[in-house]
Amino acid sequence: MSLWRDFLTHDGKNAGKWTHYFNAYDRHFGSWRDRSLTFLEIGTAQGGSLELWRGFFGPKAKVVSIDIMPQCKALEEPGAFVRIGDQSDTNFLQSIIDEFGVPDVILDDGSHQQHHILETFKFFYPKMHKNAVYMVEDLHTSYWSEYNGGLKKPDTFMEFTKECLDKLNARHTRGAVEEDYIAKETISISVYDSIVCFEKGDLWWVEPLNTALLKYNTPA
């Protein structure tokens, strides 16, 4: 069953989502269903998405949500944990790792303030394991001044993403782009209307291979 069908039949707490987000969720999160993982959603709101994610990922998952509003703690349920704190407070973020481990999948639907999104990403992403997924949604706010955004304005998450596209190909730039943690650990950056998704992975396959040498070193 897709998350879209789950959403349409959901009769619990309110969950507000743009309809075109669901294809991205299924594409990037679908392979994690019914697996042991830690999922972190930044932004609890009314708790509806917390219910959806708990049902989507299944009983093996630890579903964790963080929010700055103290009343969100009351939305906690068995299998779905809520912790109260500021997403730009690295001490608080470290406490999440200390309690639940490094998340395998992160969805940032928090304050939408551009500096908060960047600070949270730069804290978590380098620590995440191979094959981890980091998605940020509602990135139309990168263009809105009330969220410290603006078209081509530096220090928005969209401008950061554009820089990361070059880093994804840093090894081909002949030294023009530094091979930092984005270049060395990221296998894809997917960009949608209002969504960006980073996926980590094993980059062994990007190295050129001599087929004769490969055959020689491959066990029969």
Positions marked active-site? 112
* Alpha-carbon gap, residue 110 to 119, rounded angstroms: 12
At position 191, the amino acid (one-letter code) is V
- Helix %, strand %, coil % of the chain (to 5): 45, 15, 40
- Report helix, strand or coil for 68: coil
* Alpha-carbon gap, residue 192 to 116, rounded angstroms: 20
At position 36, the amino acid (one-letter code) is S
* Alpha-carbon gap, residue 57 to 21, rounded angstroms: 17
* Alpha-carbon gap, residue 21 to 36, rounded angstroms: 24
- Report helix, strand or coil for 13: coil
Structure-block tokens of residue 1: 């069953």
* Alpha-carbon gap, residue 153 to 118, rounded angstroms: 14
